[in-house]
């Protein structure tokens, strides 16, 4: 781990990201959605979290996936791997950039949709863990993509499952199998936010945060494991 290398990768990726409009325009998607939701006058937690959960997938996971896929597409990853920079440096540099972009987007979405959470600290922890989780999801997705085009296809099921997954719980009364959707990180963060609005107990807070934490640990462990396996050649 070397700070100057991570910084070089961070700056390089920031310039590449900001000049690649095909990818950076995705940042606007949750913001526009939050703005429209605000204008239509919704005021329940479920609706507030749609643009936020969309920001997690269409910005955090998608941008991370694209940044790595583009390195593969342009053959630059091989040059990077031959340089003194390690895979860890490369991923950390990118993840830091994606984390910053996501944090700004999510906060702007919350502001635009007009949501005022009951407890900023507890929700902040959950948002932080979520961004780390979706960054890992994007990194994992990049393992199976070689071009930006493929990345934008891979991201579709992720958006469907994780951003719109919470709506599946509504259908769970008719189809009991869909009760599993309750344990998605995107559903858990909504449950957390709902309990923050009323008087909450310790377990109301701990269960969602622990669930998101477990998702994060699992996704990063499997990502690191698969990268070690696949990147050897």
Q: Where does this chain bind another protein (CB under 8 A)?
A: 2, 4-5, 7-9, 11-12, 15-16, 19-20, 71, 74-80, 82-85
Torsion angle, CA of 210/211/217/218, rounded to 10 degrees?
150
Residue 85: CB minimum distance to another protein, A: 5
Task: Give dist(CA 221, CA 151) in Å, integer.
Answer: 21
Number of H helices, E strands in the chain: 12, 0
Residue 95: CB minimum distance to another protein, A: 17
Residue 135: CB minimum distance to another protein, A: 21
Query: Between 2 and 43, whose beta carbon lies closer to another protein?
Result: 2
Residue 153: CB minimum distance to another protein, A: 22
Query: Between 73 and 204, whose beta carbon lies closer to another protein?
Result: 73
Closest Cα partner for 213 from 139, 155, 136, 118? 136
Continuous segment of H or E residues that includes residue 105: helix 87-113
Task: Give dist(CA 149, CA 84) in Å, integer.
Answer: 29
Query: Between 77 and 125, whose beta carbon lies closer to another protein?
Result: 77
Residue 68: CB minimum distance to another protein, A: 13
Residue 2: CB minimum distance to another protein, A: 7
Q: Let me know how long the chain is.
A: 233
Query: Between 15 and 179, whose beta carbon lies closer to another protein?
Result: 15
Cα 94 to its chain centre, rounded Å, is: 13
Task: Give dist(CA 145, CA 158) in Å, integer.
Answer: 14
- Burial group, residue 103, by CB count within 10 angstroms (0-12, 13-18, 19+): middle
Query: Between 84 and 176, whose beta carbon lies closer to another protein?
Result: 84
Query: Between 100 and 222, whose beta carbon lies closer to another protein?
Result: 100
């Amino acid at each position: 781990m070397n700070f100057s290398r991570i910084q070089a990768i961070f700056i390089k990726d920031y310039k590449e990201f900001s000049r690649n409009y095909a990818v950076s325009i995705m940042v606007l998607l949750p913001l526009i959605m939050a703005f429209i939701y605000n204008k239509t006058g919704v005021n329940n937690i479920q609706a507030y979290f749609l643009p936020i959960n969309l920001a997690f997938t269409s910005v955090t996971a998608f941008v991370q996936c694209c940044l790595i896929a583009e390195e593969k597409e342009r053959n630059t990853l091989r040059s990077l791997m031959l340089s003194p920079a390690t895979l860890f440096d490369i991923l950390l540099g990118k993840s830091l950039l994606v984390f910053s972009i996501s944090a700004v987007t999510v906060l702007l979405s919350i502001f635009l949709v007009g949501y005022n959470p009951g407890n900023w600290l507890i929700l902040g922890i959950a948002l932080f863990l979520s961004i780390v989780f979706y960054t890992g999801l994007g990194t994992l997705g990049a393992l199976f993509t070689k071009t930006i085009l493929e990345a934008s296809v891979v991201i579709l099921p992720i958006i469907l499952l994780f951003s719109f997954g919470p709506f599946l719980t509504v259908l769970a009364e008719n189809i009991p199998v869909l009760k599993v959707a309750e344990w998605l990180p995107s559903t858990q963060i909504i449950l957390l936010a709902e309990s923050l609005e009323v008087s909450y107990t310790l377990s109301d807070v701990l269960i969602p945060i622990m669930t998101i934490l477990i998702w994060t640990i699992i996704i990063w462990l499997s990502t690191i494991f698969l990268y070690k396996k696949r990147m050897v050649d």
